[in-house]
Amino acid sequence: MFLALFIFNLSNISAVRPCRSCSREHTLHTKHANVDAVIKILRRLPESNEVIEQALRQGSISVEVSKGRMPFKAMWLNGPRKIVLERGASRQPGSLLSHLLFELMNALSEDQFLELCDLALDGQIDCDSYVEAVERIEYRNMIRADAIIEKGLSLGIFPPAPKWEIIDDFATHYKIQQLAGHSPLIAREYQEMRGRRHFSPYRGTVQNLKQMSRREKESQIESLYSRYVIEPG
């Protein structure tokens, strides 16, 4: 089972939105040959090429491979407009393509993420509402990315990749993100933005989450997946 987990990293958020010049050509660049090869594949399919073009209209993007361990396979860094890939995820072309495309979707959602950050910085949204809103954005991005990936595979353009098991119900998907540790990381970043004295605690929708063992969380994830995965076709 391939569990699609991602995170939008907020550590580089500031209250002032970056100003980008529209007078120069923006680029998607990387120093890694395998990443460059996958970008060329994404360019071959009109739908994924359009995602790249839309993302680049907002500014240049760099793609790096992490030298150390990461909590998840990929992340989008808003401030430097950078996609960081976990080293293991970058070795298999199909997996690399999937994660890269998803993070490009997150890049397209930058304004939505920044709007949520503004609300958090101003104390106009509590932690639970913030985390759920971020998860909803990423959930929609994952569904859209998966549709493009399926088309690329059906046309023989994209390399084989592990199938994303997408839940056809956001409430269930959100529970899985909590059990897998994704939502708590977003909550932690919210709390860092608000400061220790001002943040609201994160409660989530999974009862007794903090008291669960890793095995209990994995068991619940398997159970939720078995009941709610979207059937192909």
Query: Per residue in 169-226, pLDDT tens?
Result: 999 999 999 999 999 999 999 998 888 667 678 999 999 999 999 999 999 999 998 8
What is the residue extent of each domain of the chain? 7-14+28-228
Give the contacts of 111 (CB within 8 A, at least 6 positions apart): none
| Strand (E) or helix (H) holding 212 | none
Whole-number average pLDDT of the chain: 86
Task: Specify the long-range contacts of residues 84-91, CB closer than 8 Å, at least 24 apart.
Answer: 84/9, 85/35, 90/32, 90/34, 90/35, 90/65, 91/34
Query: What percent of the chain has a predicted confidence (pLDDT) above 70?
Result: 86
Ranges of beta strands (E only) in 99-223 are none
Which residue's entry shows tokens 């994303």? 164
CA distance 190 to 10: 8
CA distance 81 to 92: 24
- Does residue 8 have a pLDDT over 60? no
Could you give the 3-state DSSP secondary structure of residue 37? helix
CA distance 153 to 144: 14
Query: What percent of the chain has a predicted confidence (pLDDT) above 90?
Result: 64
Higher pLDDT, 15 or 9: 9
Which residue's entry shows tokens 């569990």? 3
pLDDT for 61 equals 95
CA distance 86 to 68: 8
CA distance 145 to 101: 6
